Amino acid sequence: MITRTLIRQKVVQILYAYLLRENTNAGAAEKELTFSLDKAYDLYLYLLLLMVEVKHFAEDRMALRRLRLQPTEEDLNPNLRFVRNRFICQLEENNELAERRKGLKRSWKDDDDVVRRLFEAIEHSTLYCDYMNAPAEPTYEDDRALWRKIYKQFIMDNDELDSLFEEQSLYWNDDKTVVDTFVMKTIKQFDPLMGADQALQPQYHDREDPEFARTLLRRALKNAGTYRELIDEQSSNWTGERIAFMDTVIMVTALAEVTSFPSIPLNVTLNEYVEIAKYYSTPQSASFINGILDATAKKLRNNV
């Protein structure tokens, strides 16, 4: 689930903080990087568990309505289609999710008001009403499609959730956009034949990725001074003070990758960091970084 694109972003974030403080403690930086990557996977698990918790809320509310002094016919015989949705029941019973949740420090029970408001928004939507009142019994595909649409419409762009995640982790606001894509991928990949043994997204796409992360950060910290000199040479028309500090950090990280991982095509590395610049730096940064990196990286590769 944690792609090299996300790893590069994390390295840039941590390198920025360490170089800004003029701290070159590689051991501490690597621990912070590992922690940040672990938190990204925790967010993936929390978002899967959020969908399950919405189902639990709906069930609990039905149970409470049956206990009213004068329950209505609807209270006594509710429409169970939402809580019996086969996709969400399969996710609820997932063995891997159940095992991994044991290591999480928080539960959605700590934020039950957020869950309540999320369900109420879903309940009052046309999407929900159409599903609940469809004349034909839903297929598994219908059930899975409902949750894919719910996630996209109510969870991906949810200001309350964004604020909550920002409070819980410094990293999660930047992570959520990437993690959302993997939650959607997980929903799409669920197979009813797998039952509770359906595999979730692994933490890393490749076994080499954790080492890629550590090496990239380590080399960037160690050689930051050298790389900055090379950048200055190629940016003769720009004084060091005029170059945004984030631009420098992005280019230092890119040059660390160029020299440490020659098997990665140069254009792939450059494109990755230009995209990071578009997100993290100024509007003019992407084209500036592209030009400086292209000249500097080719020079470095020729000397490797």
pLDDT number for residue 238 = 58
Length of the chain: 304
Tokens of 78: 């509710």
**Same structural domain, 154 and 295:** no
Q: Are residues 94 and 176 in the same domain?
A: yes
The structure tokens 């159940």 sit at 98
Per-residue pLDDT of the chain (304 residues; tens, 9 = 90+): 899 999 999 999 999 999 999 887 889 999 999 999 999 999 999 999 999 999 999 999 999 999 999 999 998 999 999 999 999 999 999 999 999 999 999 899 999 999 999 999 999 999 999 999 999 999 999 999 999 999 999 999 999 999 999 999 888 988 999 999 999 999 999 999 999 999 999 999 888 999 999 999 999 999 999 999 999 888 776 554 467 899 999 999 999 999 999 999 999 999 999 999 998 887 778 888 988 898 888 777 776 5
The pLDDT value recorded for residue 24 is 78
* In-domain check, residue 1: no
Domain boundary among 157, 180, 197: 197
240 & 179 share domain: no
CB 293 within 8 A of CB 251: yes
Domain match, 191 and 294 both: no
Q: Residue 155 falls within a domain, yes or no?
A: yes
Helix (H, G, I), strand (E, B) or coil at 243: coil
Question: Is there a domain that residue 3 lies in?
Answer: no
Q: Domain end: 146, 162, 197, which one?
A: 197
- 178 and 36 in one domain? yes
Q: What is the DSSP letter of 138?
A: P
Q: Tell how many helices (H) and how many strands (E) occur in the chain.
A: 15, 0
Which pLDDT belongs to residue 143?
98
Q: Is residue 206 part of a domain?
A: no
Is residue 241 assigned to a domain? yes
**What pLDDT does residue 156 have?**
96
Q: Is the residue at 10 inside a domain?
A: no
Half-sphere exposure of 54 (CA within 13 A, CB side): 22
Note the pTM of the prediction, 2 decimals: 0.91
Residue 238 phi, psi dihedral angles, 5° rounding: -125, 130
Report yes or no: 253 and 12 within 8 Å, Cβ to Cβ. yes
Query: What does the pLDDT read at residue 173?
Result: 82
CATH code, 257: 1.10.940.10
Range of the domain at 122: 29-197
Q: Are 140 and 86 in contact (CB under 8 A)?
A: yes
Write the pLDDT tens digit of every residue in 226-271.
999 999 888 776 554 467 899 999 999 999 999 999 999 999 999 9
| 142 and 240 fall within a common domain | no
- Does 35 share its domain with 176? yes
Answer yes or no: is 211 within a domain: no
Do 44 and 140 sit in the same domain of this protein?
Answer: yes
181 and 46: one domain? yes
Q: Do residues 179 and 294 share a domain?
A: no
Domain end (from 163, 181, 197): 197
Residue 147 and residue 289 in one domain: no
Structurally, the chain folds into a number of domains equal to 2
Residue 6: predicted pLDDT: 94
Residue 177 included in any domain: yes
List the beta bridge partners of residue 204. Answer: 2
Same domain? For 167 and 261 the reply is no
- d(CA 192, CA 151) in angstroms, rounded, equals 19
The pLDDT of residue 28 is 95
- List the beta bridge partners of residue 2: 204
Residue 284: what pLDDT?
79
